[in-house]
Amino acid sequence: MNVAAEGPIIEPTAQDLVTFALSKFRAGDTVSTRAMLDAIHRSSPACEDSDDHLVELIVMAAVGKTMGVVFDHRSPDERLLRHS
């Protein structure tokens, strides 16, 4: 007899998602904020954290692991609007 335990499904935190996405890299690697955000959104489409918050977590975690960060997550149109 198969019995499935019923209980709340626990969604990973934003920090969990960032840690998992960064686990594929090593010290000294450079990570792209765009690629990291894409990976996080693919692994957890229900993540409601803003991209700005996720980028903050990515930077803190990557720098702590001596990784470089390329800030390429903003579209060219969005960058133009911010500088206008």
Q: Which tens digits make up the pLDDT trace of 16-75? A: 999 999 999 999 999 999 999 999 999 999 999 999 999 999 999 999 999 999 999 987
Distance CA 63, CA 30 (A): 10
pLDDT for residue 1 is more than 70: no
Q: What is the pTM of this model?
A: 0.78
Q: What is the DSSP string of 27-63?
A: TT-EEEHHHHHHHHHHH-TT--S-HHHHHHHHHHHHH
Choice between 8 and 4, residue whose per-residue pLDDT is larger? 8
Which residues lie closer than 8 Å to 65 by C-beta, 6 or more apart?
22, 25, 27
pLDDT for residue 79 is more than 90: no
The answer to whether the CB of 58 falls within 8 A of the CB of 36 is: yes
